[in-house]
A and B are shown apart, each in its own frame.
Chain A
Amino acid sequence: MNSPLSSTVLFQLGPVPVTQAIVTTWAIMAILVIGALALTRRLDLRPTRRQATLEWMVSVLDTQIVETTGAAPGPYRGFIGTLFLFILAANWSSLVPGVEPPTAQLETDAALAVLVFLSVIWFGIRAGGVGGWLKSFAAPNPVMIPLNMLESVTRVFSMFVRLFGNVMSGVFVIGIVASLAGLLVPIPLMALDLLTGLVQAYIFAVLAMVFITAAVEEGAPKTADANPAPTPKDT
């Protein structure tokens, strides 16, 4: 049985080995980007069915962002939405026969978690400046500085181990069951995997959003507290 921690190298691109996960990631990226471009090419004030579906997706995303954090969704919609859609597509790519989801490999999840780590810094600095962002480490009081610094690393680590563990264990269990009884028996487990994939994508996006807004709110100047309720115009 193949180790779930190792990755299959398909071919060499100069000195860089290209693994199966990278090829799948590229395919998913291409499908998402080309799909998004093709679907948003002709937008109209009088929406067609296709445009209405897209608008529904965006508004669901906005509602989730507002309900989980209370922040205006405008600046975060792109990043969080892309994160959610990519992880969802990656988790569900196991439905295509012969494709192993790229999120079942450590590297992909680590890359996503690093992305979240950097975006927390980026949004934190953009909201409160470098000083405000540094001050957010001393959030309740300065005693917490080492703990907060440790937390900003460990929570990213736990995010990526969570995503990796959930997706990889699904793939692993299906592999074991399929080697015992190949026909029809793994199907309920695959259905469970779909649910796990959806929940994990949702949780990854929600946690990223929570971390970002925590950095933004703690780093922002105190005058921002005067109007906590987001107005619809800001969206």
Chain B
Amino acid sequence: MDYLRLASIVCAAFAVAFGALGPALAEGRAVAAAMDAIARQPDAANTISRTLFVGLAMIETTAIYCLVIALLLLFANPLLA
């Protein structure tokens, strides 16, 4: 097991772990804010939840980017080719 391979695996795990951290906190805040807004104004629940879904997908994208980077490191690593 050479160095480069080991480093790739460790970095892939780190990328997913820390990449999931930020979006998880952000999504929690977004959902909490949306809950608050729906509790204050139940009439606007449709609009709020639609915007929430789109916003959550946007936030989630950062975690997905980290996942894609991790998969690149594991399966399509240009340094190991």
Contact = CB atoms under 8 A, between A and B. Distances in A.
B1 interface: no
Contacts of A199: 53, 57
Interface residues of B, number: 15
Contacts of B60: 162, 166
A82 B65 CA distance: 27
A169 B64 contact: yes
Interface in A20-46: none
Q: Is the interface of B mostly helix, strand, loop or mixed?
A: helix
Contact of B50 (A6, A68, A164): A68
Given A4-B75, A5-B71, A202 B64 contact: no
A5 B47 contact: no
A165 to B, nearest CB: 3
B17 to A, nearest CB: 15
B57 A203 contact: yes
The 6 closest A-B CB pairs, nearest first, are A165-B64, A3-B75, A203-B57, A162-B61, A5-B76, A165-B68
Given A6-B76, A67-B47, 18 more contacts: A3-B71, A5-B75, A5-B76, A6-B75, A67-B50, A158-B61, A161-B64, A161-B65, A161-B68, A162-B57, A162-B60, A162-B61, A165-B67, A165-B68, A200-B57, A203-B53, A203-B57, A206-B54
